[in-house]
A and B are shown apart, each in its own frame.
Chain A
Amino acid sequence: MNQKYILDIIYLIASVTFVIGLKMLSNPQTARRGNLWAAFGMTLAVVGTIVMHDTVSPVIYALILGAIAVGTVIGWITAKRVKMTAMPELVSLFNGMGGACAALISLLEFHHNVGQPGRVGIIMAGMIIGSVSFSGSIIAFMKLNGTLKKSIRLPHYNMINTVLMFVTIAAGVFLTVSGSESIGLLLGVFALALVYGVFFVAPIGGADMPVVISLLNSFTGLAAAFGGFLYNNQVMLTGGILVGSAGTLLTLAMCTAMNRPLFNVIFGAFGETAATTGGSKTGGTIKDISISDAAVLMNYSKKVIIVPGYGLAVAQAQHVIHELEKLLEERGVDVKYAIHPVAGRMPGHMNVLLAESNVDYSKLAEMEEVNPEFSNTDVVLVVGANDVVNPAAKNDSSSPIYGMPILEVENSHHIIINKRSMNAGYAGIDNELFYNPKTSMLFGDAKDALTKLVTELKTL
């Protein structure tokens, strides 16, 4: 009996470390320690669960430890090797693993609990949510790493999805209420939930993936919490619910930063309307700028602000841009980075990327603090960003991005925009900034163009 009490105390400590860890994770100074605290609590909970349980067959211990060893080695190596730009898909993949784990637990617990509607209900909920999170995360992963390029939209996909969702839930409820022992039916619900996860994520555009991952993240939290309910296990419950609620809030925060209501993300209103109505076409003439002119312009400026975007991340140009910044600084130019909250592949991703290439933290300016500075800035260099600098968000109420907070680069003296081509950004809308008389376009791959710019600057 003592063991049970000790385990309860271990779980209590672990739960507290999760809360403290999450709290510390929301402050840049303490974030790293917070993560370690949570990891410590997790280790404690896992070790406690094994050690404090009544002794079982050595085969079982060997299998558990073997599984943990396999998972640790693979997880550790993958996490250490992944490129920082590939972070979003990796988070998605790990999230899917958690969802699959929760779904498997439910599958395995079903036959122990047949005939107890309350418990079967919990098992069903855990299985459905876990499976949706698993298959959805895998689709999100494939979309982000480029395996799945197009958004797959069946005709009337919203209706199909809604029907599928209700069928899945109804099947789960039937299994709960009827007290059926049918393993076939159980596997049927499992399969339905997996298919729903695929259908749920497949129509959503790549740019909305961060929001989806964050949402699926809170789903997995919920699935873990149902597991906690099932076993009367407090650490699973607190951990799961914490992530569920914090994840939901984070999802909403991301939506706010992107000015995309969650409803539109899920039901895909964006992709459709943007492609057809697409805001007013601005038209006008575009001015090109050569590498050497751009280099000269920046070299003789007092103040340059760099606006990095998704394109920079895709082109892996974060190291070159740092080189450019250092070079300009050496020549007495004041250089800063203006970071839009959703710059990069997910909110905060750009900060991680620039941090990776050793850009000084104090050089990263957030939108609110940098916006008033543009009016006394000589040159703004926009690299691979489009929608976050589109004035239509302020001026054009018919634009799909109207109301999104933007970086007001049009207030500066010169704007150099590096883009691969004139293709519109992911919002699929034209950007009047390109036709602004103060704007010059520097076409080319971000890494390529910036490397040439650095070489050119060195000769000056």
Chain B
Amino acid sequence: MSSILAFLGENIQMIYIVILSIFVGVEVISKVPSVLHTPLMSGANAIHGVVIVGSIIVMLNTEPENILLLSLGFVAVVLGTLNVVGGFVVTDRMLEMFKKKEKK
């Protein structure tokens, strides 16, 4: 019991962030028209690519001699970048088309 309490106490700020972010996430997209479901999903998909930051931290903390960990880390960074770059570019391509029509 006390270890659980300690864990919560030590991480209380993170827990605040989690709870508030949940509400923000729900609030922010609560009024989205169905027209935008696909781009929104794709955009959100790009945002969770923030996991790339984690893979970079792994690499930064690995000793240069540890080939196995470095190569796995390398793969992780490549995958994370794919998620981020691919996600944002594809979302932009979709939304670019919405833009064109507005001019008319």
- A residues engaging B (CB < 8 A)? 14, 18-19, 21-23, 25-29, 31-32, 34-36, 38-39, 42, 45-46, 49-50, 53, 56-57, 59-60, 63-64, 66-68, 70-72, 74-76, 78-80, 82, 84, 87-88, 90-91, 93-95, 97-98, 100-102, 104-105, 107-109, 117-118, 213-214, 217, 220-221, 223-225, 227-247, 249-250, 253-254, 257, 339, 341-342, 344, 346-349, 351-352, 355-356, 358-362, 364, 366
Number of inter-chain CB pairs below 8 Å: 375
User: B43 near A233 (CB under 8 angstroms)?
Assistant: no
* List of B residues within 8 angstroms of A362 by Cβ: 101, 104
Other A-B contacts than A257-B34, A352-B39, 17 sampled, CB-CB below 8 A, are A26-B31, A38-B47, A75-B84, A75-B85, A75-B89, A91-B90, A95-B83, A97-B86, A98-B51, A101-B52, A243-B47, A243-B48, A247-B25, A253-B37, A342-B34, A346-B37, A358-B101
A71 to B52, CA, bound (A): 11
* List of A residues within 8 angstroms of B34 by Cβ: 253, 257, 341-342, 347-348, 366
Chain B, 18-71, CB within 8 A of any chain A CB: 18, 21-26, 28-60, 62, 64, 69-70
User: B100 near A94 (CB under 8 angstroms)?
Assistant: no
Interface SS of B by simple majority:
helix
* List of A residues within 8 angstroms of B3 by Cβ: 117-118
* List of A residues within 8 angstroms of B12 by Cβ: none
A39 to B76, CA, bound (A): 19
**Among all A-B residue pairs, the 3 with the closest Cβ atoms:** A71-B81, A245-B25, A75-B86
Partner of B48, one of A70, A79, A98: A98
User: A71 near B85 (CB under 8 angstroms)?
Assistant: yes
Partner of B45, one of A60, A217, A229: A217
* List of B residues within 8 angstroms of A14 by Cβ: 50
Interface centre among A19, A71, A100, A358, by most chain B C-beta atoms within 10 angstroms, is A71
Interface SS of A by simple majority:
helix
* List of A residues within 8 angstroms of B29 by Cβ: 22-23, 25-26, 246, 249-250
User: A249 near B26 (CB under 8 angstroms)?
Assistant: yes
User: B80 near A97 (CB under 8 angstroms)?
Assistant: yes
A364 to B34, CA, bound (A): 12
Q: Taking CB as reference atom, which chain A residue is nearest B4?
A: A118
A231 to B26, CA, bound (A): 25
A-B contact pairs, 17 of them (CB 8 A): A23-B28, A26-B40, A38-B88, A39-B92, A56-B60, A64-B77, A71-B85, A91-B87, A95-B45, A97-B79, A101-B49, A221-B47, A234-B17, A240-B50, A241-B22, A243-B45, A253-B32
User: B36 near A28 (CB under 8 angstroms)?
Assistant: yes
Tally chain B residues at the interface, Cβ within 8 Å.
81
Nearest CB of chain A from residue B79's CB, rounded to whole Å: 4
User: B87 near A94 (CB under 8 angstroms)?
Assistant: yes
User: B22 near A94 (CB under 8 angstroms)?
Assistant: no
Nearest CB of chain B from residue A439's CB, rounded to whole Å: 27
Interface centre among B23, B30, B75, B78, by most chain A C-beta atoms within 10 angstroms, is B78
* List of A residues within 8 angstroms of B11 by Cβ: 229
A102 to B54, CA, bound (A): 8
Partner of B76, one of A36, A38, A75, A101: A101
Nearest CB of chain A from residue B32's CB, rounded to whole Å: 4
Nearest CB of chain A from residue B96's CB, rounded to whole Å: 7
Nearest CB of chain B from residue A72's CB, rounded to whole Å: 5
Nearest CB of chain B from residue A303's CB, rounded to whole Å: 21
User: A18 near B47 (CB under 8 angstroms)?
Assistant: yes
A362 to B64, CA, bound (A): 58
User: A49 near B56 (CB under 8 angstroms)?
Assistant: yes
User: A70 near B45 (CB under 8 angstroms)?
Assistant: no
A299 to B62, CA, bound (A): 70
